[in-house]
Structure 1
Amino acid sequence: MKALARPFRIDAGRLSSFQPSHALRARHGIVLLALFLASLVTAHAQGIDPAGPPSALATLVEWMPFILRGFLLNLGMSLLAMAIATILGVGLGMLQLSRTRFISAPAWLVTHLFRNSPWLVILFVVMLLVPYELELPGGGSFIMSDWLKATFAFSLPVMANLSEITRGAIVSIPSGQWESAESLAFTRGQTLRWIILPQCVKRAIPPWMNWYALLAMATPMASILGVREAVGNAQAAMEAAGARPELLAPFYLFLLLLFFVYIYPISIWTRMIERKYAVET
């Protein structure tokens, strides 16, 4: 069987070893919790004047549901962006391996363009260029709210990295499996669908989870452009409470705790799956 386009072999067991979520440890959460509690004690001590405004602790408790609603938007944006990135990234990765140069070259270009572009720049470009209202072919229209545009923007760099992970996982499958499938009269599409891709899933799950963790941690950047997620809501709450300096530490440490509690289990689960699906080389 002819070789795949631009073949090279990689260690699939190392596909996700570069991700920073591996550095997370439980002690980091304990330190973060201790800092959060210390900030509450300090801020409470600064606001015990009965004639003054409520303490930082009371202010945080009052605005906590508002911040949590924003955090739910972070989670929704991350899940939707990851779904879009997965669909587009897997397709783009397979297009990179096409034997037709007119297909593989544009797929390679798109992959490396978004893979090597700053996320914040992509966010600004999408937010400014995508119109607020899209005209549909049937005569209707679709409103592209800011959070939807931000979600699509976040999906683009993740799509590019998932494209490269998909391509790497496919080319890491031993060539003998392609040759065996060809000897059994499988077409290239059948070989890819029934033999190669099922094996790639195990190899790609750990880096896929790592990229989701990175995506979830990147969603607060949307607050720069006015999306009212957790960080945006926290900033609005502090402004409504008088923009007092003693509010900064407890509010932002509370945000750090929210994301840590959500991301850290994903990090643990990723390491467990990596050990379970480790590829022998």
Structure 2
Amino acid sequence: MASTSPAVSTARTGSYAAATIAVAGAVLWLLAPRDIEPAHLLALFAQWLPALLRGFAVNVSMSAGALALGTVIGLLIGASAARQGVAGRLARLWVQAFRNAPWLVLIFFTTYALPFEFRIGGHGVPFPDWLKVIAALALPASANVAEVFRGAVQSIPGTQWDAAGSLAMSRRQILWWIVLPQCVRRMLPPWMNVYSIITMGTALSSLVGIHDVLDTARIASTTVAHSSFTVLMYMAALALFFLYCYPVGLLTRALERRWSGSAR
């Protein structure tokens, strides 16, 4: 039997997912109320679509900032978690605490616990809410990145450490010149999964007043005040998240197949 190539399998999976989303969207649309003419509905949607896209750009920006900050913190936490003593115990406690913390609670906590501005040299520097959301989402991102980093380091055979040690290399040199270059490739797919999850988690930011895609959909549905338009706006928001996150998932699976095959 001829085997299916990873590219064909990925494309087929994407086609199935797109078809499933299309069928689900069609069912929701058929069940939606009809309280406005279709032509007028599409005209209103076209009018609000640019604002919806700008709102989604806010979600993407927050997810990128949260992942960048979470990656830096996560690598430091992951490196400390392998140590013995107080530093290692605190790092492992950080991972367990923020991997299991509700994201909405973290967002509310940072929004109201962090100050609205900092005083620097007698001047007030504002600390906007979208930065607080980035800080909140960076906490679970850092915990997940720390686990990804720890797993990647542990996947390196111990014989490599021993062989490098026999060449009089220090532990730091082994980590930087031998282990970490291999870890980057092993970390990339799960790191991309973390990014997709963080991106979808930014939808919670609308609950603290961030003008993101969901807040835009809410404002649009309140302004137009037609049930069919409300359904269409939230379906469009769902489609934006899907169209952005699903290709990341496909690329992640493609990289996993490619690199797992080349490792054999």
Cα deviation, 1:55-102, whole Å, max 9, x if unaligned, reads 332221111111110011111111111111111101110011124x02
Secondary structure in 2 matching 1:46? coil
Structure 1 equivalent of residue 250 of structure 2 = 268
Task: Please show how residues 246-257 of structure 1 align to structure 2 within 5 Å.
Answer: 246-257=228-239
SS in 2 for 1:125: helix
| 2:41 pairs with 1:56 | yes
| In structure 2, C-alpha distance between the alignment counterparts of 1:182 and 1:202, rounded to whole Å | 23
Counterpart residue number, 1:5: none
Q: Which amino acid aligns with 1:261?
A: L
Map 1:157-196; keep pairs closer than 5 Å.
157-196=140-179
* Residue 228 (structure 2) pairs with residue 239 (structure 1): no
The number of residues matched between the two structures is 251
Aligned equivalent of 1:10 = none
Task: For 2:132, give the aligned amino acid.
Answer: K
Q: What secondary structure does 2:118 align onto?
A: strand
Contact 1:29–1:260 (CA<8 Å) still a contact in 2? no
Q: Distance in 1 between matches of 2:59 and 2:126?
A: 20
- The one of 22, 27, 34 equivalent to 1:33 is 22
CA distance in 1 between counterparts of 2:185 and 2:209 reads 38
Residue 81 (structure 1) aligned with residue 66 (structure 2): yes
Question: Is the CA contact 1:82–1:155 (under 8 Å) kept in the aligned structure 2?
Answer: yes
Q: CA deviation at 1:43?
A: 6.9
Q: CA deviation at 1:126?
A: 1.0
What displacement does 1:150 show? 0.7
SS state at 1:77 partner:
helix
Q: Residue type of the partner of 1:48?
A: E
- CA distance in 2: counterparts of 1:102 and 1:69, whole angstroms: 45
- Deviation of residue 179 (structure 1)? 1.2
Partners in 1 of 2:116 and 2:192 — Cα distance? 31
Deviation for aligned residue 1:229:
0.4
d(CA) in 1 for partners of 2:226, 2:234: 13
Distance 1:222 1:173 in 2: 38
Deviations 1:145-177 (A, max 9, x none): 111111111111011011111111112211111
How many angstroms apart in 1 are the aligned matches of 2:155 and 2:21? Answer: 40
Please list the CA deviations of residues 100-144 of structure 1 after superposition, one character each: whole Å capped at 9, or x if unmatched.
x021111111111101111111111111101110233x5444311
Quick check: 2:81–2:88 contact (8 Å CA) kept in 1? Answer: yes
TM-score (normalizing by structure 2): 0.87
- Change in Cα spacing, 1:68 to 1:37, as seen in structure 2 (3 Å) is farther
User: Is residue 98 from structure 1 mapped to residue 83 from structure 2 by the alignment?
Assistant: yes
SS state at 1:173 partner: coil
Task: Tell me, in whole angstroms, the C-alpha distance in 2 between the residues paired with 1:170 and 1:35.
Answer: 41
Mapped to 1, the partners of 2:226 and 2:78 lie a distance apart of 50
Aligned CA-pair RMSD: 2.3
Is the 8 Å Cα contact of residues 74 and 219 (structure 1) preserved in structure 2?
yes
Residue 5 of structure 2 corresponds to none
Question: Partners of 1:135 and 1:172 in 2: how far apart?
Answer: 46
For 2:46 and 2:27, locate their aligned partners in 1 and report how far apart those are by CA, in whole Å.
16
Contact 1:81 1:154 in 2 (8 A): yes
Which amino acid letter does the alignment assign opposite residue 239 of structure 2?
L
In 1: Cα distance, 2:111 partner to 2:67 partner: 18
Name the TM-score, length of structure 1 as normaliser.
0.82
Change (3 A) 1:276 1:225: same
Answer 1 or 2: higher relative contact order, Cα 8 Å, separation at least 6: 1
SS at match of 1:221: helix
CA contact (8 A) 2:217 2:230 kept: no
Q: How many Å separate the matches in 2 of 1:84 and 1:62?
A: 35
Gaps of 5+ in 1: 1-23
CA shift in 2, pair 1:139/1:175, >3 Å: farther
Give CA deviations for 1:229-261 in whole Å, capped at 9, x if unaligned.
0010110111111x2222222111111111111
Q: Matches of 1:35 and 1:276 in 2, distance apart?
A: 32
More helix by share: 2
Matched, 1:68 2:53: yes
**Conserved 8 A contact 2:35-2:226:** no
